[in-house]
Structure 1
Amino acid sequence: MGYPFSGLVVVITGASSGIGRATAHAFARRGAAVVLAARREDMLAEAERECRQLGGEALAVPTDVAKEHAVEELAQRAVERFGRIDVWFNNAGVGVFGRIEDIPTDAWHRVIQTNVLGTMHGAKTAMRRFLAQGHGVLINNASIVGRLAKPDSTAYATSKFAIRGLSESLRQEVLDQPDIHICTILPSVIDTPFFQHAANYSGHRVRAAPPVYTPEKVARTVLELVEHPRAETIIGGAGKVGALLKRLSPSVTTRLNGRALHRGFLAEDPSDPTSGTLFRPMRDGRAVYGGWRKGPNNGGAPLLALALVGVPLGLLAWRRWQPSANRRRTVS
């Protein structure tokens, strides 16, 4: 019963912590062989041991996805060890907070190098092997920010919009390859160390804006996509609500996001500038979780989310009602 994950060969970038590590655990529990890639060799070694204890085969390959030759070596190591690659999960990513005028240009470059070119490097080497063997599932992590954007994160938002574009282009390139699938996931805010690791030039402490969902929720979705591939999948109710509002009332949603997310992700207390993990990994020992699911940060549907639905819909209805009401007054 269920999809035969046993023996499946899965490459996961950004596997030392957060979503990547949780997804590696999920595949290992189902008997898959996981190839784990990230910059932190010690954390990868821990994740490798965990995956073996959970019942899967595992291989750790320290990799900086911004370097194409390193990603090609990652793929080669996977094939040498396991004979093929069935699933490639482009998950590695870095972030930076701050207004565009405050973010150093080298920080911008590094976000694009890691998130966009790193995803391209993974897609390129994976697709070459998928085309040769006639099957494969490529999954790219674009974030809900790739659909809605957000303030104080121009570089990150740009990179995630680019990943969605890359994914859609690849789908069009494999129209004649029915067993090759390109999937894009758009997670909402997830409880990972991302916010501790992000570069920050905002002058304020960075935090996760509620509601916050578990990394395991993303991992389950990734496994589901291997079983039943879909083009784009939003993970988390808050992201689904935001995407719906963007379709119904784009300008209102832009204003709401611009105000609410600025306050949601940046605390009042100050913070010194930091480049985070942009140029070198952070040795903080954080594995899967960031510790953000506290109080209202529980992944539910808070009153704020309901308000974000009701307010734009109410405004939209009011705007549509106004012209007809004015016409009735004119006629009378």
Structure 2
Amino acid sequence: MSRTVVVTGATSGIGRAAAREFAERGDRLVLAARSPDTLADVRAECEKVGAEVLDVPTDVTADGAVAALADAAVERFGGVDVWVHTAAVMAYGRFDETPERVFEQVVRTDLLAAAAVARVALRHFRANGGGTLILTGSVLGHITAPFMSGYVASKWGLQGLARALQQEARETPGVNVCIVSPGSVDTPVYQQAANYLGRIGRPPPPITTPERVARAIVDCADRPRREVSVGRLNVVMRFGFTVLPGAYDVLVVPLMRLAGLSNRPVEPHEGAVFTPNPAGESVRGGWRPDLAQVVRGVGALPATIGGVVRRRLR
């Protein structure tokens, strides 16, 4: 049976992959993002496999925008069965060197807009007998990494929000709240990020695909669960952060510089935090490394860790 699915953040990365996945399932789609032209491209991709699609250019941080999106979905398809929220932006930089307005816009987009989506979706679901809200979290909602303070703070906040909503939803039969938390994913969000570090960020290996995360999202729509983790090392990182916090804090900065930042220089800029960059929007970001790059990175890890340990011992 086909469903009506709203996808916010549908023009790039996980959101775009999820839109395609739902389309191939035969679901009706309401697609939302900031770039009208790219949104029209995604609509065409989904219509090509036979899906009914409504695209609604939307800035989820604008007052009233999320409610207007829900109204458009109801007007076109009569209601919403599943709402998938993937919209997010990122900024790299030391906390004290990142402009205040950039930090606040990251939090506004990644946490407060997610709360606005949840508020509208849950009110609709309660009034109409049920539905499933799927939020896109991150392993960084359970651990921390330097130079990404706005994103980390938002994902920790989103994790807490999701748990609170799940507890409240227990009193509302038919309403489900899920959070899908990936590790490193090959999406353009790293190139699109604001940057005040001088080096373009990148996802540290191992890197999964947006399509794999999209399949986890669709599976949550079919079989709602509290949280789904996508990434082979997520459990290991969470264990180290929780059980060995001292060792984690010693190692995380040099490892971030080694594996989480590329060697590509960049001048300070706001990226796509405030305005979209359609030229950079796609499903994948081109970060899946070749074998030689992986071998070099893995080979450098023991020397890097050894150097950090020796400095700490001295």
Q: In the superposition, relative to structure 1, how do residues 122 and 54 fare at CA in structure 2: closer, same or farther (>3 Å)?
A: same
Which of 12, 20, 41 in structure 2 is aligned with 1:17?
A: 12
Which of 31, 37, 61 in structure 2 is aligned with 1:42?
A: 37
SS at match of 1:12: strand
Which of 278, 282, 290 in structure 1 is aligned with 2:277?
A: 282
State the Cα deviation string for residues 215-248 of structure 1 (Å, max 9, x = none). 0010010011112211122111022321233343
Q: In the superposition, relative to structure 1, how do residues 174 and 269 fare at CA in structure 2: closer, same or farther (>3 Å)?
A: closer
Deviation at 1:143, TM superposition (A): 1.1
Unaligned stretches of 5+ in structure 2?
310-314
Q: Is 1:295 the equivalent of 2:290?
A: yes
Q: Which residue of 2 aligns with 1:85?
A: 80
Q: Which residue of 1 aligns with 2:122?
A: 127
How far, CA to CA, are the matches of 2:129 and 2:215 in structure 1? 25
State the Cα deviation string for residues 115-147 of structure 1 (Å, max 9, x = none). 111101100100010111121111111111111
Q: In the superposition, relative to structure 1, how do residues 287 and 180 fare at CA in structure 2: closer, same or farther (>3 Å)?
A: same
1:1-332 alignment runs, 5 A limit: 6-296=1-291
Deviation at 1:211, TM superposition (A): 1.5
Q: In the superposition, relative to structure 1, how do residues 179 and 105 fare at CA in structure 2: closer, same or farther (>3 Å)?
A: same
SS at match of 1:101: helix
Deviation at 1:36, TM superposition (A): 0.6
How far, CA to CA, are the matches of 1:116 and 1:298 in structure 2? 34
Deviation at 1:56, TM superposition (A): 1.4
Tell me which structure has the larger Cα radius of gyration: 1
Normalising by structure 1, we get a TM-score of: 0.86
Deviation at 1:170, TM superposition (A): 0.7
SS at match of 2:80: coil
User: Contact 2:188/2:280 (CA < 8 Å) preserved in 1?
Assistant: no
Q: In the superposition, relative to structure 1, how do residues 254 and 87 fare at CA in structure 2: closer, same or farther (>3 Å)?
A: farther
How far, CA to CA, are the matches of 1:248 and 1:161 in structure 2? 18
Q: In the superposition, relative to structure 1, how do residues 45 and 245 fare at CA in structure 2: closer, same or farther (>3 Å)?
A: same
How far, CA to CA, are the matches of 2:262 and 2:49 in structure 1? 38
User: Contact 2:179/2:227 (CA < 8 Å) preserved in 1?
Assistant: yes
Q: In the superposition, relative to structure 1, how do residues 296 and 147 fare at CA in structure 2: closer, same or farther (>3 Å)?
A: farther
SS at match of 1:11: strand
Unaligned stretches of 5+ in structure 1?
1-5, 316-332
Q: In the superposition, relative to structure 1, how do residues 113 and 72 fare at CA in structure 2: closer, same or farther (>3 Å)?
A: same
How far, CA to CA, are the matches of 1:235 and 1:296 in structure 2? 22
Deviation at 1:298, TM superposition (A): 10
User: Contact 2:3/2:27 (CA < 8 Å) preserved in 1?
Assistant: yes
The two structures, once aligned, show a CA RMSD in angstroms of: 2.2
Identity %: 39
How far, CA to CA, are the matches of 1:8 and 1:298 in structure 2? 42
SS at match of 2:64: helix
Deviation at 1:249, TM superposition (A): 2.2
Deviation at 1:286, TM superposition (A): 3.2
Q: In the superposition, relative to structure 1, how do residues 20 and 190 fare at CA in structure 2: closer, same or farther (>3 Å)?
A: same
How far, CA to CA, are the matches of 2:291 and 2:246 in structure 1? 27
How far, CA to CA, are the matches of 1:108 and 1:101 in structure 2? 10
Deviation at 1:281, TM superposition (A): 0.6
SS at match of 1:65: coil
Normalising by structure 2, we get a TM-score of: 0.90
How far, CA to CA, are the matches of 1:237 and 1:245 in structure 2? 14
More displaced 10-residue stretch of structure 1: 119-128 or 283-292: 283-292
Q: In the superposition, relative to structure 1, how do residues 234 and 257 fare at CA in structure 2: closer, same or farther (>3 Å)?
A: farther
Q: In the superposition, relative to structure 1, how do residues 214 and 121 fare at CA in structure 2: closer, same or farther (>3 Å)?
A: same
